[in-house]
Each structure stands twice: as C-alpha cells, then as structure tokens.
Amino acid sequence: MGTLYPNPILPSETRIGWVGIGVMGFAMASRLLSAGYSLTFYARNPSHPNALALQSRGATQAQSPAQLAQLSDVLFTMVGHPSDVRAILLDSILPALRPNSVTVDTTSSHPELARTISSKARELGTWAIDAPVSGGDIGARDGTLAIFAAGEENVVEWLHPIFSILGKETYVGPAGCGQSCKIANQITIGANLVGLSEGLVFAKHAGLDLKQFVEGIRNGAAGSKALEIFGERMIEGDFRPGGFAEYQVKDLGMGVDVVEGAKDDDVVVLPGASLWKQLFTSMVANGQGKLGTQGIISVIERINGMNQ
C-alpha cells in the first residue's frame, strides 16, 4: 500500500498524513476520510476531542511527527505560526520522510520559510508544496476552499485529486508564492471585513434593519464573499472562529512589518493594511484574539460607544 510521487494518487492506496486538527484542519482531514483515503494524524494533545472524533471516523493517530512521516505518502500541515511550521515540518518531518514523499503546508506562513523548506526537501529527495487556503470554516467543511499552491508545478498537478476534495487549487508559482498570495489575500479580506463592519455600524446608527441592509447590497457592487460568509454572523454577534483574529494579525504583519536589515526593494508601503493590522491587534489586546475575524465589528462598535 502507498503511492509516492509520481505514481497516481488513489484513495485505496495513497496514505495521507495530517498535522493540525483545529477548526480548519479537522474539517479538511474529515473530508479526506469521507472520500475514502487512509489518514494518519499527529496531535500534540492525543485526547483532544477532534483527535477522538477523527479516530471514530477511521483515522489512526501517530505517536510522533517522525512516525507520521514514515507512514505518509502525502503529508499535510495546518498549524498556527511560522515557528510551528519550522519546528514540526522543517525540523521533525522532513528528515524522516521517505524519498518522493510530498508535504503540503496549508498554514499561513512566511514565504522565505516556504522556500527554505522546499530547498531542504529537494536535498532529501522529497517534495514540498506551500498551499495556504482561504474560505474559512465553511469552505473547509464544504470543500470550497481557495488553495494557493506553489512549488514544483508537476507536483501540484499530481496533487489535484486530493486538492479537489478540499476546494479549488490555483498554481501561483515557485516555492513561497503560495504564502505571498495568502498574505495578499489577507490584506484584501482585512479591507473587506473592516468595510463591512463600518457599513453595518453606520446602518445600525441610521436606524436601518441590518438584515434588510445586507440583502439590499448583496447583489450590488458591495456584494462579496466576506458579506456572504460573515454578514449574518456579524449581525448576530456570532464570533465563533473560522480563522482566529490573532492569526490575521500575524498574516498582516508578514505583509507590512519592516524586518531589520531589509533592503529598500523589499519594503512595500501599505497604509490600509497597517491600519487593519492595528484594528485586529486591538481585538487581541481586549482578549479577543481567539475569536473569529468577523469580530472586528466589535472594535468599530467600541470606537462608537455602542453596546456589545
């Protein structure tokens, strides 16, 4: 059993490995199990409810990242921060992989780290794809994620049978480009979320029925994916996370923060994104970092003295 690159991917034979079983990772892994793939996962907390739920659906739990690497043909990671990616994927998983195994990092991480991982993978005779995703918990559950896939194009094409279960992949270039694409995505969605929040706050202040307001703008130029996914949640005060506010701060920071020693042509001035980052940072400062990004409306409400 097992199909290493470039042998065809088959649900009955290709062994999937998974690290990261939070809101997004759990939903994505569950879809692969439902599609008939054999899936083994590693969890830092073996008794986490999501770990038990995956096992009840037929998944196997590995005892370490290295063991998981040995049991996987394609190994996905969906963790929190670049430091987690470095510790789990670069330091623990890559050295233990079998030749022609493929790793797919769906974490929102740093482009330079993705390039480092790709280079190290090739040295070891394996392949590494950076493929962060967008679409939130609903997209992960329904298999409608946007997947920004980068690295060796032939390997990305080979992964299509798996990607198609999770959403729609777009090849965006060599290693690191997936992460750059995700940062640009987060800058864009940050603007959408802040704009939607301000529109709702103004509509409420003007005495409009908020659900009628959302329905009225849905099919006009203000209509957006952000509106579809988060509009009703914002109105209802449902801030359960699809993506954490603290992760939005991290992602925006990778776009706007100037690293010491950076060359002039490495710096991009993004005044809007810098503002979005500060607004999301205020959520973290108010103990809301683990809330969903749609909770940004609470910041705009606080600024305007509205009751929460």
Residues designated catalytic: 182
β-bridge partners, 171: 149
Q: Which pLDDT tens digit goes with each residue over 167-206?
A: 999 999 999 999 999 999 999 999 999 999 999 999 999 9
Predicted pLDDT of residue 266: 73
The mean pLDDT value for 122-130 works out to 98
How high is the pLDDT of residue 261? 54
Q: What is the pLDDT of residue 257?
A: 83
pLDDT at residue 258 greater than cutoff 70: no
Query: For the stretch 141-176, what's the b/e string if a residue is b when 16 or more beta carbons lie within 10 angstroms of its beta carbon?
Result: bebebbbbbbbbeebbebbeebbebbbebebbeebb
307: pLDDT confidence band, cut at 50, 70 and 90?
Answer: low
- Look at residue 260 and tell me whether its pLDDT is greater than 60: no
pLDDT at 18 over 80: yes
pTM to 2 decimal places? 0.93
Residue-averaged pLDDT of the chain: 95
pLDDT grade, residue 275 (50/70/90)? very high
Question: Is residue 38 within 8 Å of 68, Cβ to Cβ?
Answer: no
Interval 68-85 mean pLDDT: 97
The per-residue pLDDT for 282 is 97
Max Cα distance, the chain (Å): 63
Which pair of structure tokens corresponds to residue 11?
Answer: 């649900």
pLDDT of residue 241: 92
- List, for residues 134-153, the tens digit of each pLDDT value: 999 999 999 999 999 999 99
pLDDT at 181 (0 to 100) = 97
Reply yes or no on whether the pLDDT at 128 is more than 80. Answer: yes
Per-residue pLDDT, 117: 98
pLDDT in tens, 45-75: 999 999 999 999 999 999 999 999 999 999 9
289 pLDDT exceeds 90? yes
Q: Could you give the percent of the chain with pLDDT greater than 70?
A: 96
Q: Which among 308, 208, 290, 278 is positioned nearest to 243, based on CA atoms?
A: 290
| Calpha distance 152→150 (Å, rounded) | 7
Q: Taking residues 15-31, what's their average pLDDT?
A: 97
Q: Residue 267: what pLDDT?
A: 78
109 neighbors 84 (Cβ within 8 angstroms): no
